[in-house]
Chain A
Amino acid sequence: MNALEEIVDDLQFLDKLIIIYEQGELDFWGDRVNPPNLSKDEFDLVLYRIDRADSLKWIARESQKGPHGKTGEDDCFKFNCSAEFGGIFENETKNYFVKGYFFDKDDLKGVAIQSFREE
């Protein structure tokens, strides 16, 4: 078990994702027009505004694109989440969809975010 795996070993999924995102490597697939994928800068802000990963599912990964496409875990996570934006103006809650996978298989180094869009 490497150092990153030890840190996230007992954590719930969302906390694990945040730690790996902060401390590990990142492959972020963005800049798609249709359907529009949001950017890494926007993911940075949303990640710290969500309380839980709703409808979390693990599905077999199909794409092998990217620097860790061949070495990443076989399954992708996907979930929906809500982020609240507040302040002196009326609070607003927005819903997002996130899909990705951790890499490498059996040697955790980072996370690939394949989809991040507003629902």
Chain B
Amino acid sequence: METIQKEFLGEKFSYTTEVDEDGKGLWTNTIDNDFSKWLHQLRIDNRELFKVQYSVSENAYKVLEKLKERIGVFDDSLLVRAITITFINFIDTRAGRLILNKLNACIAAGGLDILQEGDTLKKSLYFSPVGIRDVEAYANLTGFKRSKVVKNALYSVLLISINSDKEIKKFWEEEILEQLTTIVKAA
């Protein structure tokens, strides 16, 4: 058994585990639970580590406002968190690949331009311990900064929400809206 230090959000989580011949540490469900508890405590001790700043244009924010009305949520942060998690775990996966490919064609034709118009608003939100694990993993895999992870998710989802393509509209109405509503109501 050896003690391993895992770096996360600039802090160190220590755990004792079995190490194999190649120096890899065994990550078990028990260690995962301990890590979650450590993260909860870290959020209590230093909430700022869980903060992500992002920017949004005035036009994109208007679309977000309409979405807030439709879902029945008043808090920007709550909805943007739900959008980010839904994007990472559902839309940008095999399940949403065809839709994202269609969206790319729309972006290539200038579809994103209208969303990017207007002054830039600076915003920030705080992720939960579970949410920050998804954001960090996605950021590590893509090389994106956390702010870019949120922006990618937010603009992609807003663009999907106003798209008139029949297939994208169906995906939005039947899949994404339901997931966003569920996450927001559970919060």
Contact = CB atoms under 8 A, between A and B. Distances in A.
Interface of A: 25-34, 37-42, 44-46, 48-51, 63, 65-67, 83-89, 91-92, 94, 114-115
A89 B97 CA distance: 14
A31 B137 contact: no
Given A40-B32, A86-B92, A114 B24 contact: yes
Contacts of A30: 24-25, 27
Contact of B28 (A27, A34, A46, A87): A27
B90 to A, nearest CB: 9
B148 interface: yes
Interface stretch (B14-22, B63-71, B72-80, B176-184): B14-22
B104 A91 contact: yes
Nearest to B5: A31
B91 to A, nearest CB: 8
A10 to B, nearest CB: 20
B97 A84 contact: yes
Given A27-B28, A31-B4, A31-B27, A65 B20 contact: yes
Interface string B86-98: 0111001111010
A30 B18 CA distance: 11
A86 B97 contact: yes
A85 B25 contact: no
Given A40-B32, A50-B94, 19 more contacts: A28-B26, A28-B27, A30-B25, A31-B24, A32-B23, A33-B23, A41-B137, A49-B93, A51-B94, A63-B21, A66-B26, A86-B100, A87-B100, A87-B152, A88-B107, A88-B112, A91-B100, A92-B142, A115-B24
A91 B92 CA distance: 10
A46 B89 CA distance: 10
A36 to B, nearest CB: 10
Interface in B1-55: 4, 6, 18, 20-29, 32
Contact of A88 (B6, B26, B88, B155): B155
Contacts of B144: 89
B27 A65 contact: no
Contacts of B148: 89
A87 B156 contact: yes
Contacts of A27: 26, 28
Given A40-B32, A49-B93, A87-B152, A65 B25 contact: no
A26 B33 CA distance: 13
B137 A45 contact: yes
A88 B24 contact: no
8 contacts: A28-B28, A32-B23, A40-B27, A45-B89, A48-B89, A67-B26, A85-B141, A94-B141
